[in-house]
Amino acid sequence: MAESDNNNERSLKVQVCYALPEKNFIKELNVSPGTTIAQAIEASGVLHSHPEIDLSQQRLGIFGKLKTAESELREGDRIEIYRPLQADPKETRRRRAAHRKATKG
């Protein structure tokens, strides 16, 4: 169920997205019905241009909802490859609040 840009069978248009602080990878693909998230990611070429991506470790989603690599795609899906958090969100909020309190008075 590989990429099928120029064939006669029905295909699904999907996007593969991987966001980095300095740039984003976004690629539109036409895939066959039954294609999984992992297959679309491989077909997109993102693994070649970003070898740091480890599909066995990184979380994946469609429009912000976590999915498994084996999830089948639907028309218009935007596949997102999530990077690990660099800082604990709770700790970051605590630091910001402490900083605001210190600068106010």
pLDDT in tens, 2-16: 444 444 468 999 999
User: Tell me, what CATH number does 64's domain have?
Assistant: 3.10.20.30
More confident residue, 81 or 98: 81
Amino acid present at 15: Q
Domain count, the chain: 1
Amino acid present at 66: L
Torsion of CA 98, 101, 104, 105, to 10 degrees: -110
Residue 7 inside a domain? The answer is no
* Residue 84 belongs to domain spanning: 12-104
pLDDT in tens, 38-53: 999 999 999 999 999 9
Residue 1 inside a domain? The answer is no
Based on its alpha-carbon atoms, the radius of gyration of the chain, rounded to whole angstroms, reads 18
More confident residue, 4 or 58: 58
Does the model's pTM come out above 0.85? no
Report how far residue 31's alpha carbon sits from residue 78's, in angstroms, rounded to the nearest whole number.
13
